[in-house]
């Protein structure tokens, strides 16, 4: 045997000598990042979406950012109505549950499509809709976003768990009749009784924070999933890494010509076929990445005040902060012109511009700001460093954003020294006894709800936010006038907006548009995207 091996080696020794060289070059080639990018990362049936630097769980309905919730919900849970119905043509290819829906005065009706199935293969019925709409009300002892969204429905102010009827439908137990304005007629039909007529009711309840879910896939707390979220959307969740915040989706129907698999990540690293929330230069862009800034505003940004504190309650303090700011200069610090100056809750572009107050954006006035600040007790602010919590999920390091540095510098000109704290998604509002005075965040601009009063409703008693607004009867009077008359005339809403701005109930600084990049080597088109708030994953076209 040894003689045979020796003979072969002697005769074909050049083969034995060259094989290690082949192996060596093979290893070098496959470890080259460029070749890895070509062979491994650019898989034509998969998509990696980097939704931002701040880690979030996409189905955390109260704490996840609006664009995260809306994108995930539409992909996994489907939609009650098509958001593209707001335009002239519905070519959105969404998974929509309602076949028809309409309102007659204060009564609205909806009929479900037959044969729509959850990912567990059970047919979706009207009791699933009722449960999905009220489940957040059932589990929250405190206020939630749900109450604000469902505010039009009769009985929302007088919820009583004694009214709940437990019904068995196809061997599934449902809590029903908790909110008396929602009535299930039969397996496919519902009736909604409203406090007042609303043309936008069905679009309002189609928001991503109210996903339609199968009750049997949830644990008894109605919050935790037994495994992964289940809906009737085009994608199902097949894996979730809650430690590294990586979420894997797979298309439900093999025959659909949409990306087969999608991985949602949250990372400050330079990864992702699509990168959203490009507020700073940390995630370097390559020559093959295309930048897109959507026209529509998806969020405003500014300071909320803690009205538990003396400074928060002080109108001179709030006005001084507003006058200290040069909003135009702040906006110019954005990298992709995604920020523009604003001081009202309603943006100056889009349909909401009709309802904003007819007043110019406030100009910086340092002398006047200093005069106002002198009227505020000095022991509350002078020679103090004010810590500012943030909910600004663009980046992990909030102070790496150029316009944040600009805001700090401008406030320092009037003697206010502040430090912005990095975003903590658990800090989503002021808590009882909170000593912080300012909180930097913003409210999403709805693209499915044509009600200009939506964001004003956050500043009312009973909303999700408790300490972010004063107890102000005049604001409530103006709000009710706006609610009752905005469908006929914008005048009452304009008065509400003027009062909100002049009182600096919130100091709005900017409006923000979604900016993202996409890998042009892999993605042909983003498809029919309404705006950057809800990224329609199924619309994205990949190279074959």
Q: Which helix (H) or strand (E) holds 173?
A: strand 172-176
The pLDDT assigned to 88 comes to: 45
Cβ-based neighbours of 404, under 8 Å, separated by 6 or more = 398, 420
Query: The domain at 293-515 falls in which architecture?
Result: Roll (3.10)
Return d(Cα 273, Cα 70) in angstroms, integer: 19
Return d(Cα 321, Cα 303) in angstroms, integer: 9
Q: Binning pLDDT at 50, 70 and 90, where does residue 109 land?
A: very high
323 phi, psi to nearest 5 deg: -75, -20
Q: Is the pLDDT of residue 32 over 70?
A: no
Q: Binning pLDDT at 50, 70 and 90, where does residue 18 land?
A: low
3-state secondary structure of 460: coil
The pLDDT assigned to 3 comes to: 43
Please give the average per-residue pLDDT across 319-337, as a whole number. Answer: 95
Q: Which tens digit of pLDDT belongs to each residue from 36-95?
A: 433 344 456 899 999 988 899 999 988 888 889 999 999 999 999 986 544 445 556 789
The pLDDT assigned to 281 comes to: 57
Q: Binning pLDDT at 50, 70 and 90, where does residue 279 land?
A: low
Q: pTM for this structure?
A: 0.80
The pLDDT assigned to 141 comes to: 53
Closest Cα to residue 463, out of 158, 135, 142?
A: 142
Q: How many CA atoms lie less than 13 Å away from 46 in the CB half-sphere?
A: 11
3-state secondary structure of 95: coil
Cα angle 191, 197, 202; round to 5: 55
Return d(Cα 282, Cα 107) in angstroms, integer: 51
Q: Please list the alpha-helical segments (H only) found in 106-185.
A: 126-139, 145-149
Least confident of 37-46, 164-173, 218-227, 305-314: 37-46
Query: The domain at 105-216 falls in which architecture?
Result: Alpha-Beta Complex (3.90)
Residue ranges per domain, the chain?
105-216, 293-515
The pLDDT assigned to 54 comes to: 87
Q: Binning pLDDT at 50, 70 and 90, where does residue 12 land?
A: very low
Distance spanning both ends of the chain, measured CA to CA: 53
Q: Binning pLDDT at 50, 70 and 90, where does residue 449 land?
A: low
The pLDDT assigned to 387 comes to: 97
Return d(Cα 280, Cα 24) in angstroms, integer: 40
Phi-psi region of 153 (alpha: psi -120 to 50; beta: other; left: phi over 0): beta
Mean pLDDT in the chain?
A: 87
Tell the residue number behind the tokens 């797979």, with chain if given.
Answer: 250
In the chain, % of residues over pLDDT 70: 87
Q: Which tens digit of pLDDT belongs to each residue from 301-317?
A: 999 999 999 999 999 99
- The more confidently predicted of residues 522 and 141 is 522
Contact criterion met (CB below 8 Å) for 285 and 518 = no
The pLDDT assigned to 40 comes to: 40
Least confident of 14-23, 158-167, 374-383: 14-23
Please give the C-alpha separations between residue 250 and each of 41, 47, 234, 263, 315, in angstroms, as whole numbers. 17, 10, 8, 9, 52
Q: Binning pLDDT at 50, 70 and 90, where does residue 277 land?
A: confident
Q: Which tens digit of pLDDT belongs to each residue from 506-523?
A: 999 999 988 899 999 999
């Amino acid at each position: 045997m040894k003689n045979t091996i020796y003979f072969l080696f002697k005769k074909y020794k050049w083969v034995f000598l060259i094989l290690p060289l082949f192996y060596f070059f093979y290893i070098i080639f496959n470890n080259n990042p460029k070749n890895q990018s070509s062979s491994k990362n650019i898989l034509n049936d998969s998509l990696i979406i980097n939704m931002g630097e701040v880690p979030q769980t996409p189905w955390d309905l109260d704490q996840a950012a609006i664009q995260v919730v809306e994108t995930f919900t539409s992909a996994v849970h489907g939609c009650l109505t098509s958001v593209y119905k707001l335009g002239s043509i519905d070519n959105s290819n969404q998974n929509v549950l309602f076949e028809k829906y309409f309102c007659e005065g204060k009564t609205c009706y909806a009929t479900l499509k037959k044969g729509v199935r959850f990912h567990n293969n059970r047919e979706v019925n009207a009791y699933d809709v009722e449960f999905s709409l009220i489940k957040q009300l059932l589990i929250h002892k405190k206020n939630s976003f749900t109450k604000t969204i469902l505010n039009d429905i009769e009985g929302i102010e007088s919820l009583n768990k004694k009214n709940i009827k437990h019904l068995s439908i196809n061997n599934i137990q449902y809590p029903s009749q908790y909110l008396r304005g929602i009535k299930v007629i039969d397996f496919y039909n519902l009736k909604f009784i409203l406090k007042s007529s609303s043309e936008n009711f069905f679009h309002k309840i189609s928001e991503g924070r109210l996903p339609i879910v199968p009750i049997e896939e949830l644990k008894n707390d109605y919050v935790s999933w037994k495994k992964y979220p289940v809906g009737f959307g085009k994608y199902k969740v097949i894996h979730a890494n809650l430690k590294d915040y990586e979420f894997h989706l797979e298309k439900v129907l093999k025959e659909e010509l949409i990306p087969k698999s999608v991985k949602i990540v949250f990372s400050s690293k330079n990864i992702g076929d699509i990168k959203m929330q490009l507020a700073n230069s940390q995630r370097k862009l390559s020559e093959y990445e295309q930048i897109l800034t959507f026209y529509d505003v998806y969020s405003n940004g500014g300071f909320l005040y803690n009205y538990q504190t003396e400074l928060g309650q002080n109108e001179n303090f709030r006005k001084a902060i507003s006058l200290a700011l040069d909003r135009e200069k702040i906006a110019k610090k954005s990298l992709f012109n995604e920020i523009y100056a604003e001081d009202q809750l309603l943006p100056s572009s889009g349909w909401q511009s009709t309802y904003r107050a007819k007043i110019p954006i406030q100009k910086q006035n340092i002398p006047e700001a200093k005069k106002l600040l002198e009227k505020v007790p000095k022991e509350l602010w002078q020679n103090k460093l004010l810590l500012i919590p943030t909910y600004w999920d663009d980046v992990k390091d909030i102070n790496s954003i150029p316009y944040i540095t600009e805001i700090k510098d401008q406030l320092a000109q009037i003697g206010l020294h502040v430090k912005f704290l990095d975003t903590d998604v658990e800090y989503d509002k002021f808590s009882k006894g909170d000593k912080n005075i300012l909180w930097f965040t913003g409210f999403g601009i709805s693209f499915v709800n044509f009600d200009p009063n939506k964001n004003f409703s956050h500043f009312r008693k009973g909303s999700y936010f408790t300490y972010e607004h004063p107890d102000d009867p005049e604001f409530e009077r103006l709000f009710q006038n706006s609610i009752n008359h905005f469908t006929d005339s914008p005048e009452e809403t304009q008065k509400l907006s003027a009062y909100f701005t002049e009182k600096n109930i919130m100091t709005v600084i900017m409006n923000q548009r979604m900016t993202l990049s996409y890998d042009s080597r892999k993605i042909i088109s983003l498809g029919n995207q309404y705006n950057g708030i809800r990224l329609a994953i199924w619309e994205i076209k990949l190279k074959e």
